Amino acid sequence: MKIGWIGTGVMGCSMAGHVRDAGHDLFLYNRTREKAQRLIERGGRWCDSPAEVARNAEVVFTIVGYPRDVEEVYLGNEGILSAGGQCRTVVDMTTSSPGLAVRIAEAASHKGIASLDAPVSGGDIGAREATLAIMVGGDRDAFERVLPIFRLMGKEISLMGGPGAGQHTKMCNQILVAGTMIGVCESLLYASKQGLDEEAVIGVIGKGAASSWLINNLGPKIVRVDYAPGFYVEHFIKDMGIALDEAAACDLSLPGLALMRQLYIAVKAQGHGRRGTQALILALRKMNGME
């Protein structure tokens, strides 16, 4: 197939690489061309705008930073939906606003284009290993058409409902990640304060009732003082903000999530917004005088 790909960052580059490795033609756009260079060297074709991608590709995937970026990529003057061409399906894999996903689906339908919102979970590791969880909202027929491509990137792929349902499911994911992350960090702080071997602690509790992807994958990074981003702190703050806005819109109180967002804002204020989410430990260490 002729596949369009917009967004070649920490996760997008690996995801698009799997598509290219499967033999599909790849049409690429990214705000910074250098970040797409590895894919260009592997046979991807550079385009100068999202509209140019859409003119060349049957299916266009996007994974960018913020809802404002999604809106510009789809609905802007040089956006995907401004173009003619052969594009018949668009798939936004950004974690974004459910309401925006509905708007894009409505705008796409007026052009005879099917739209799926398909955010992912699994971070840079899942993107590299093609083991992402992909949660999808939109039309079932469009989902079935795109499913073979999804399977190049992920293992757990589910249609959750109509437009916006994928994004709502991702909000559930991020709420759980937020609560689990503070448990990981506080557990390792306690281990450190008590003089325990933190790696040994992870080896034990990571196999019991407290086991989670976060303790087993990000816990060792914390011990190694490795804060390289698999997912940026600033993007996680964005996601939690979306979840809190959606919760407020349906009169739902999520005090744990609100606390976590404030802690991550503190991490960003300390200059760590472009580090991985495991950098939460830095704010907690400072709070406890353990720097």
List the catalytic residues.
170
Q: Rounded CA gap, 43 and 20, in Å?
A: 8
> Where does residue 85 fall: left (phi above 0), alpha (psi -120 to 50 degrees), or beta otherwise?
left
Q: Rounded CA gap, 204 and 210, in Å?
A: 9
Structure tokens at 240: 């939690």
Q: 29 near 53, Cβ under 8 Å?
A: yes
Residue whose token pair is 């894999």: 93
